[in-house]
Amino acid sequence: MAKTALLFAGQGAQVVGMGKDLAEAHPTAKSLFAEADEALGYGLSEICFSGPEEELVRTEHAQPAIYLVGWIALQLLREQAPSISFEATAGLSLGEFTALAAADAIGFEDGLRVVRRRGKLMQEACEASSGGMAAIVGLDEEAVRGVCEQAGVSLANLNCPGQIVLSGDADKMDAACEAAKAAGAKRAIPLPVAGAYHSPLMQPSQAGLAEALAKVELREPSVPVYSNVTGQAHVGAASIAGTMVDQVTSSVRWEACIRAMIADGVTRFIELGPGTALTGFMRRIDRGLEVLNVADNDSLAKSAEALNA
């Protein structure tokens, strides 16, 4: 029997207006936005709907906003396609928390508060350092690791074949991009980010995240949740907190997560949350697999129709 996996968006997917049409059309979405505002004690929904963009892109807002919209997308898909079942989940960086919530390993509100705290801590780490990131297109992992060693930066994201992201001190990123081009990269593109995510420069945020996770109940996932850190499923509730703390400074092994799910029999993937970045990665990993997404009312209707067929 075919297996389905849910994929949840990560930071960078945020866009002003996200979730607004869902809230206007669906009482469940409107209620969850209100619940999130109350749980966090501020108007996250208004920042999602109206911005301004400079507020939404702040890590402390972007992370809970993307978590929330991904969660709402899942609840609406369940309403529109009641027969939906899934056998695995994964999320890119902060999206892994949404994946854990979808698998009942953490409660929705607990996850929302932890992600908000994670975002604030990472924002502080960004402001305390001068970090940057760059996307390297057209080099394999071994070659990019050589570039990292040469330039003194970190390998942040292994997203899909031919697209790897570097992270580190801002004053080293130009040299890293030049080294990548010299090694044969088709492109080396500096990214407009606040800091060096998934690098040692995020280490100051780890103690606070561990503290936040210690205050919530983490349960055995109801389905396998694939870890960014290992590229394999989490092995049990006891190790989730430590792995999620490690994730802040570790490489995101996204392609490995997808390939592990494929090896475990997954043939349909559903991207939930703003944007379609994960769908784009899927096309470069394996074009032969079915990929749906839910980001707004139009994509919700199309995905529900496909699932109900």
Question: Would you name the residues annotated as active-site residues?
Answer: 93, 198
The strand pair at 163-169 and 154-160 is best described as antiparallel
User: DSSP assignment, residue 105?
Assistant: S
The answer to whether the beta carbons of residues 153 and 232 sit under 8 Å apart is: no
Question: Can you tell me the distance from the alpha carbon of 78 to that of 55, in angstroms, rounded to the nearest whole number?
Answer: 31
Residue 222: what residue type?
A: S
Cα distances (Å, whole numbers) of residue 59 to 64, 68, 117, 138: 9, 14, 10, 29
Give dist(CA 15, CA 65) in Å, integer: 10
- β partners of residue 154: 167
Task: Identify residue 35 by its one-letter amino acid code.
Answer: E
Give me the sign of the Cα torsion angle 180, 203, 274, 280: positive
Quick one: which H or E segment has residue 170?
Answer: helix 170-182
Q: H or E segment at 130?
A: none
Partners of 291 in beta bridges: 269
